[in-house]
Amino acid sequence: MPRLTGRLVVASHNSGKVREIAALLAPLGVEAVSAASLGLPEPEETETTFAGNAALKAKAAADASGLPALADDSGLEVFALGGDPGVYSARWAGPTKDFAVAMERVQDELAARQAKDFSARFVCALALAEPGGAVDVFEGEARGRIVFPARGLQGFGYDPIFEPEGHTRTFGEMSHEEKLPLTHRARAFEKLLAALS
């Protein structure tokens, strides 16, 4: 298991994800650098699971940078849609990564199925890789429900249509500090920290 010290590559070009992961790493005194800032290419996500894609991205970043790397693969699973968009969450946003398009597609698909169940979950797989070494993966989830119309301009991705369990505001309506402890990413990170200790 790699140790979390010094510099670590956050294997993502998504500034929202990088910000959340950097905030989780900050109390450990780890300097998080993004794959984008190092000019590392984004590998094609060819796996069919969050864990598979996270491991693929972490390994590619660790091997390319010579530093330990932490990658996240995450997405929204809507139960009435059979778990879609799932691992294809980013692809539903199209080539321009326009999540207004993706959220509209979720609404259209739910309407087409005349869904009565709006329960959903965000899933996150965090993979920690050493250059040329092993990869460890940790998964977390945040359960809640889909709401329309979209509410809030905070966060990123599907946050404006996801209301976490026990709350009446969407992730999109919460400040970064309010949202972070409730996220699938924070839950996966807790498991990672438990394994390191």
Domain extent listing, the chain: 7-196
* CA count, 13 A, side-chain hemisphere, 25: 24
Q: Is 73 a catalytic residue?
A: yes
> What's the CATH architecture for 7-196?
Alpha-Beta Complex (3.90)
Q: Is the pLDDT of residue 162 over 80?
A: yes
Give the angle 154-157-158 at the CA atoms, nearest 5°.
90
Give the angle 85-86-90 at the CA atoms, nearest 5°.
70
Mean pLDDT of 167-187: 94
Dump pLDDT digits (tens) for 35-92. Answer: 999 999 888 888 999 999 999 999 999 999 999 999 999 999 999 999 999 999 999 9
- pTM recorded for the entire structure: 0.86
Active site residue: 63, 72, 73, 136, which one?
Answer: 73
Contacts of 96 (CB under 8 A, 6+ apart): none
